[in-house]
Amino acid sequence: EVQLVESGGGLVQPGGSLRLSCAASGFPVSSNYMGWVRQAPGKGLEWVSVIYSGGRTYYAASVKGRFTISRDNSKSTLYLQMSSLRLEDTAVYYCAREGSGSSWAGMYYFDYWGQGTLVTVSS
């Protein structure tokens, strides 16, 4: 059974750093495109970052240069290192797995999501 479990959220001051983890089970994290999606309180979903099975990474403009996505295949865990945090980064952060298995990104969709971890940036 596929499961994604996030951890690492919490309260951090503006300008601070935090590392989120997403423990995956039921599939090898290295074989799938994986992503982070966030949801600010009362708002919609916003893509944050993705990592391809081959290791390529991409970031939303709002976090580029501040966030780093990575994975540890041996631990089957996805990470999101967040630095220079801003008030507007406050959100529930979800990790998600791509489900199509397609070589064409235009077909990508997230078939499994974690339960989310709350990051609050406040002084």
Partner 1 sequence: QSVLTQPPSASGTPGQRVTISCSGSSSNIGSNTVNWYQQLPGTAPKLLIHSNNQRPSGVPERFSGSKFGTSGSLAISGLQSEDEADYYCATWDDSRNGPVFGGGTKLTVL
Query: What residues make contact with partner 1 under the rule CB under 8 A?
Result: 35, 37, 44-47, 49-50, 58-61, 94, 99-100, 105-111, 113-116
With a CB cutoff of 8 Å and minimum separation 6, the contacts of 95 are 4, 6, 20, 22, 24, 34, 35, 36, 37, 78, 80, 113, 114
Q: How far is the CB of 4 from partner 1 (least distance, A)?
A: 9
Considering beta carbons, is residue 106 or 123 the nearer one to partner 1?
106
Q: Which is nearer to partner 1, 17 or 115 (CB)?
A: 115
Nearest distance in Å: CB 47, partner 1: 5
Q: Where are the beta strands (DSSP E) in the chain?
A: 3-7, 10-12, 18-25, 34-39, 45-51, 57-59, 67-72, 77-82, 91-98, 110-113, 117-121
Q: Is 36 exposed, middle or buried (0-12, 13-18, 19+ CB in 10 A)?
A: buried
C-beta closer to partner 1: residue 58 or 75: 58
Least distance (Å) between residue 80 CB and partner 1: 14
Nearer to partner 1, 87 or 105 (CB): 105
Smallest distance from partner 1 to CB 57, Å: 10
